[in-house]
Amino acid sequence: TSWPGDVLSKTDEIAGYDVYTATFTGAHTSCIFNNNNNGQQTDDLTVENGKYYEANTNTWYDDKATAEAALATPIPDETVYLINTGNWSKVMIHTWNGVGGTAWPGVEMTPTGETIEGYAVYSYTAKQGGQANLLFQESADVNKTGDLEWEAGKYYAPLKNEWYDTKEAAAEALAAPIE
């Protein structure tokens, strides 16, 4: 098909998730699932005839019963944090290369009400395994970080261009002079 591909038909539901079906004619070995070229897509996949693909965990299930059993347990959420060391008026995140990515320029992050060394902390939560890359910014291309890898549960400080495993580690690093 030509990009972004054919629209799939909703044919079923498994564990509260919609199931869409694609039928191919001829020999096809690869596919990509996407949301009409709006920033969310899977990696290149090898076609698994008659199987069920679940994008959040990048898993093929052999049959409906196996998919139902696996998906009955909800996928946990994971959160990333930004320490607003730039005192941005708006704190945004843009995510991609995962399922559930954001459309450009991203979405506003949620203030947590906490501070680290006087800087406000913001959070963004997504489904586990759903994100691969991100960047933080004040608005489209204003005070933008470089492209980063998703670091679940960690704190990012643009001033230091660094991820920290804990609030305590971030506070210690931010209390130290910039080198």
Q: What is the pLDDT along the chain (179 residues), one digit of tens a residue?
A: 788 888 888 899 888 788 998 887 777 788 888 877 666 788 888 888 889 998 877 889 999 999 998 888 776 788 999 999 999 999 999 988 766 678 889 999 999 999 999 999 999 998 776 677 899 999 888 999 999 999 999 999 999 999 999 999 999 999 987 66
The pTM score is: 0.63
The residues, ordered by sequence, that sit 6+ positions from 23 with a Cβ below 8 Å of its Cβ are none
Handedness of CA 146, 148, 151, 152 (dihedral sign): positive
Q: What is the pLDDT of residue 30?
A: 87
Q: How many CB atoms lie within 10 A of CB 148?
A: 16
Q: What is d(CA 164, CA 18) in angstroms, rounded to the nearest whole number?
A: 37
Q: What is the pLDDT of residue 29?
A: 82
Q: What is the pLDDT of residue 42?
A: 83
Check: CB of residue 149 under 8 Å from CB of residue 162.
no
